[in-house]
Every structure is written in C-alpha cells, then in structure tokens.
Amino acid sequence: MAEPQVAYAQDEYGNPFIVVREQGKKTRAQGTQAIKDHIQAARTVSNILRTSLGPRGLDKILISPDGDIQVTNDGATIMSNMELEHQIAKLLVQLSKSQDDEIGDGTTGVVVLAGALLEQSEALIDRGIHPIRIADGFERACDIAVAALEKVADVVEFDREHIEELLKVAKTSLGSKIVSKASDKFARIATDAVLSVADLERKDVDFDLIKVDGKVGGSLEDSALVQGVVIDKDFSHPQMPREIHDARIAILTCPLEPPRPKTKHKLDITSVEEYKRLEEYERSTFESMIQKIKDCGANLVVCQWGFDDEANHLLLLHALPAVRWVGGPELELIAIATNGRIVPRFEDLSADKLGRAGVVREVSFGTTRDRMLVIEECANSRAVTAFLRGSNKMIIDEAKRALHDAMCVVRSLVKDNRVVYGGGAAEVCASIAVSQCADEIATIEQYAMRAFASALDAIPLALAENSGLAPIENLAMVKSRQVNEKDARYGIDCMATGNNNMKECRVFDPLVSKRQQLLLAAQLVRAVLKIDDVIEQHALEAEM
C-alpha cells in the first residue's frame, strides 16, 4: 500500500520551511498578568536611573560592543545606549528621548517618575481597580499638579544686559554633571550662546547657529565661547598667512582639479612631449580656476574637497590662502555665519556669493599645538561656537552633553520665563495639592490620585537617598514645613548647606520642564496600562 503524500513548502534546496522553531515554547501573557509584566520591566529600567538623580547622583559606565566606554549620569545618554529587548523598556527610552528633544533637561527625573507611577499602579490593580480607571485618576491628578506648580511659579526677569537669574538656573542644571567644578564658566557659556542666537521678541532660539566643538588638551576652565565659527582645519600650505583681515570667502563644493571623463578611461603617454602637454593642460586649468576665484574678489578659499600639491603651490604663488577637506555641516555653518553662498561650479562664482568676515586666523591649542581656524566678526553675528577643552575624550563628551542641557534650560526660560524650585520642592508641592484634592473626590479615581501623590514623593526620596540623607525623615520634614508655612520653596538639602529653602540655595527648574515631565509620565502610564496583550506574529501563527 502506497504511503500518503504530505504536501509541504520547500526552499530551493529541497529543505522544508520551518514556520516557528520554538512553537512549543511560546506563551502569551494576557490581561492583568501582562500589565504586571510590563510594569515590572519598566520598574527595572527606572531603578537603574534612580541612583543617578540629583547633584550627588552616581555615574554609570556604559560599555559598547566594541569596548568603548562612556561615563555619564545623563539620563538620555544612558537610556539611548542601553541594549533593551523588552517592548515596554523601549517605551521608556522613547519617553526619555521625548523629554530630551522637547526640553533637553529632566530626562532622568521623567523616567524615575514614570517608574514610580507604574509601581503605584501595580498595588491598585491588586486591589481590583480597573487599569483605565487608574489612568483616568492619574491624568486628573496630573492636571491638579500642573495647576499647583503654575500657581507657585516665580517669574524670572532678564534681558541681554541682566542675565544673573539665567545664570543661576543654568548653574542648577550643571550641578549633577562632571563639569560641576567649572559650573560658573559653563553656565556663562551656555547663557551667552543662547542669547547670541535668541530672538527675544518671538521667544525663539535657533540651535543650528550654535556649534559645540571640543579639543583634547587643557582643562575645562580653558573652554570659551567664540563669536564666530571654529573649524578643525588649518591652511593648506604652511607658508600661507596665518591671519586674514576683511576676509571675502569663496565657499566651494567643486574640486580644484582638471575635469575628468565620467566613463572609464585610460591615458597612454608615450613621449616627453605628450607628458609636457598634459602638465601644461593641468597647469592652465588650475590657473583658470584660480583666476575665476580672484576675479570675483575672494581672498580666501574654503573647499569641501582636497587638491594636490601643484594646485596648492599655484594658490600660494597667486597669494590666495585656502582651506581643504572641510566637511559638509561645517561648510553650511560657515555659509550661514558669513552670509555666503555655497558654490557648486566655478562658472557660478560671483562677488555677491562670497561670505564676509572681519578676521580669519589660525590658532594653536594645547601642548600638542593642534591648529584650528577661527572665523570671527562674521556678517551674521548671531553664529557662535562653544569651544570646549578637557583632559581626555570622555571628559569632552560629557562636557558637551552638560553644556547642551544647560543651553536647553536657558532656551526654555526664553520661551517661558517662569521657574519652580528644585531639590524635590516642586514635586512635594504638587504631591500635597493632589492629596488634598483627592479627599474631595467621591469616585474611585481618588485612590489613583493618592497613588499619584505617593509617586511624586519618589523624586525627593531618591534625592535624599543619593545624598546620603535619611529619606523618610527628610521628606516628612519638608512636607510639614511646606504645609505649615504654606511655602513651596522647601526641598531636600542635597549639598548639606544647612538650608532647605531652595530659593536661597539658588536651586531652580524651568516650569516648562516640570510640566512636561508630569504630562509625559502620565501619558506613558496610560499607554502601558492599556496594553494587556503583546502578540508576536510567529507566536500567533503557532496558535493558529
């Protein structure tokens, strides 16, 4: 009797397709158990960042697959570099990135707050409260917390001449960074950089006009803000002048070399005369290009491409200084700063497309005498470069992240000049307001609102714990002082100054940053509580 034929799909080698290799091992978590699994994953990530919160927060070492290390306590950097597999953990990465893109500061706090909210949610789910009712209560509490912060916020008055208050807020954001020893210097750089490019009438800051560059060598105190552009290049010939005044810059994206056929070609030279003709052709082509540059009035060439020794020699003979191998982003920044146009062909060169700067000079830095070009007194005076120094690459990278956070804080104050007080004072104030309102709510959301108030306490608790203080004792003391004195300025004394008044300690946070933290954390918690099933496509196929 013939065996029955079994039809199955085969690949080109005759092997059967395997739809799901581990189909017997696949399981699906659904309902309450799925939500609890998601909360546990989020809490794990949140607990990693919890110890990095505040001025006494600890740093993390991030080791990449190829062995590079980063030492940082910047929440956004830690989150973006962690290799996370769980879907909800990846949502927390997106949460941190949203805070970083929108505000630039508070990336650690928003993840810690979201983790605390999810931890409170788990207890409420165990009591039988539906996840959607919990999310509704959290959002209601979030609105109350934001309203409470807006009520106690102080207005920071500033203009371009009076920036003392901006410096205080920028210095607060640098308190927890590696560069805190040079926080005065970096706060000044960040404030001056933002105000240089800010439109105070429109309350707009164009970060594209701020370039942050770093060079190993020297100390953090050697960092400076250059009113212009710094590029990590030098003049192409050592005998070219080191300083050019009243520079008229030709910005080229076309190479200084003879044109070549676009097809594959072969050039056979069989005699000395042919070689000389070729040499003469190249020389005349170079001289024609240089003459076109000179005719339009340029006295400096900045080229995206390289050029050989012959072209370099001819540029020197014609007294035309040049810079080669300038990258695309730097080329665009030079064009913006000097009000020049990037020219793709020599035929398009004209006097109105030249960039203009008061002085272009080559300067050397550090013990290695590294040379860089500084373009100052640009036609567009708003373009600036923050030039950072440090003893090694790790310090430079962390200084760049710290400066970015400080600049984002100043930008937030340009957009909305209201501040609340740091050190957990804002969270305690919001927690007290939410707890008081929860007592007036008759529906089941009151439990979620009290849980929200408890989650807000996680920030001051973490600050006290990271500073080596007694967490519960300090939180109770701060809460009682805020309630009894009706003053929202009391927070955790992380730096052990003996004063819990955050206004006197000059610890400030932009209101927009705190508001964004609360809103984003509440939105993420709602998203997590609504996910009761994660369906992997191959697991679904196995069940079918």
pLDDT tens readout for residues 28-59: 667 788 888 888 888 888 888 888 888 888 88
As given in the structure block, the two tokens for residue 224 are 């400076």
Angle at 513 between CA 510 and CA 516, to 5 degrees: 145
C-beta atoms surrounding 382 within 10 Å? 15
Catalogue the active-site residues: 74, 107-108, 405
- DSSP for residue 203: T
Single-letter residue type at 420: V
The two three-digit tokens of residue 272, written as one number: 């000395």
Separation between Cα atoms, residue 122 and residue 395, nearest integer Å: 40
Domain assignment present for 323 = yes
Instruction: Using DSSP, state whether 23 is helix, strand or coil.
Output: coil
pLDDT of 451 above 90: yes
Q: Which of 17-26, 139-148, 178-187, 300-309 has the highest mean pLDDT?
A: 139-148
Number of other residues whose CB lies within 10 A of the CB of residue 29: 14
> Which SS3 state, helix, strand or coil, does residue 534 take?
coil
> Tokens standing for 31?
């309902």
Statement to judge: residues 112 and 255 lie in one domain: no
Q: Do both 370 and 426 map to the same domain?
A: no
> Same domain for 358 and 462?
no
More confident residue, 515 or 535: 515
pLDDT digits (tens, 9 = 90+) for 242-288: 889 898 999 988 887 776 666 666 777 788 888 888 778 888 888 88
| Domain end point (choices 380, 409, 429) | 380
Per the domain annotation, does 301 fall within a domain?
A: yes
376 and 425 belong to one structural domain: no
Q: Token pair of 312, please?
A: 């370099």
* CA proximity to 479, closest of 429, 440, 523, 413: 429
Give the residue from 371, 393, 358 showing the smallest Cα distance to 230: 371
The 10 Å Cβ neighbour count of residue 154 is 16
Reported as a pLDDT band with limits 50, 70 and 90, residue 161 is: confident
Closest by Cα among 521, 375, 512 to 451: 521
The position carrying tokens 């989020």 is 42
Which position has the higher pLDDT, 279 or 399?
A: 399
pLDDT at 10 over 70: no
Residue 320's region, left for phi above 0, alpha for psi from -120 to 50, else beta, is beta
- Residues paired with residue 421 on neighbouring β-strands, in sequence order: 508
pLDDT surpassing 90 at residue 454: yes
Instruction: In whole angstroms, give the CA distance from residue 248 to residue 242.
Output: 15
Assigned domain for 144 exists: yes
**339 and 252 in a common domain:** yes
Spell out a b/e string for 58-87, using b for 16 or more CB atoms within 10 Å of the CB, else e: ebbebeeeeeeebebbbbbbbbeebeeebe
Helix, strand, or coil here: 36? helix
Residue 224 β-bridge partners: 387
- Compute the distance between CA of residue 44 and CA of residue 538 in angstroms, rounded to an integer: 27
Say whether both 345 and 261 belong to one domain. Answer: yes
HEC string of 469-490 equals CCHHHHHHHHHHHHHHHCCCCE
pLDDT of 145 strictly over 90: yes
434 and 375 inside one domain: no
- Are 238 and 376 found together in one domain? yes
Which of these three, 348, 380, 412, is where a domain ends? 380
- The count of other CB atoms within 10 Å of the CB of residue 409 is 30
Comparing 508 with 13, the larger pLDDT belongs to 508
User: Pick from 330, 353, 380: which residue ends a domain?
Assistant: 380
Establish if 207 belongs to a structural domain: no
Q: What is the dihedral of CA 229, 234, 239, 242, to 10 degrees?
A: 30
Contacts of 267 (CB under 8 A, 6+ apart): 278
User: Which range marks the domain in which residue 233 is found?
Assistant: 228-380
Tokens of 386: 């923050």
508-526 residue pLDDT tens: 888 888 888 899 999 988 9
pLDDT of residue 538: 47
Query: Quick count: other Cβ atoms within 10 Å of Cβ 146?
Result: 19
Q: How would DSSP label each residue in 314-351? A: HHHHTT--EE----HHHHHHHHHHHT--EESSGGG--G
Say yes or no: 368 and 426 in one domain: no
What number of other Cβ atoms are within 10 A of residue 392's Cβ? 9
In 366-507, at which residue ranges do the beta strands (DSSP E only) sit? 370-378, 384-390, 418-421
Instruction: Provide the pLDDT for residue 540.
Output: 47
- Note whether residue 269 is domain-resident: yes
- Please check whether residue 53 lies inside any domain of the structure: yes
Q: Give the CATH number of the domain where residue 64 resides.
A: 1.10.560.10
Query: 484 with 340, same domain?
Result: no
pLDDT at 22: 52
Is 293 domain-assigned? yes
The residues near 298 (Cβ < 8 Å, ≥ 6 apart) are: 248, 249, 250, 320, 349, 354
Residue 458 has pLDDT above 60, yes or no: yes
Q: What pLDDT was estimated at residue 434?
A: 93
Mark whether 523 and 471 lie in a shared domain: yes
Over residues 100-113, mean pLDDT: 85
- Reported pTM: 0.77
pLDDT at 310 over 90: no
Lowest average pLDDT, out of 110-119, 240-249, 365-374, 399-408, goes to 365-374
Q: Report the phi/psi class of residue 19: left, alpha or beta, with left for phi > 0 and alpha for psi in -120 to 50.
A: alpha
- From the CB of residue 523, how many other CB atoms can be counted at a distance below 10 Å? 17
pLDDT tens track for 326-376:
888 888 888 888 888 898 888 888 888 898 888 898 887 666 667 888 888
Number of structural domains the chain divides into: 2
Sequence letter at residue 507: V
Q: What's 327's domain CATH number? A: 3.50.7.10
Considering the chain, what percentage of its residues have pLDDT values greater than 90? 13
Query: b/e for 235-248, b at 16 or more Cβ within 10 A?
Result: bbeeebeeebeebb
Q: Tell whether 457 is covered by a domain.
A: yes
Q: Is pLDDT of 21 > 80?
A: no
pLDDT tens digits, one per residue of 205-214: 888 888 888 8
Residues 358 and 251 placed together within one structural domain of the fold: yes
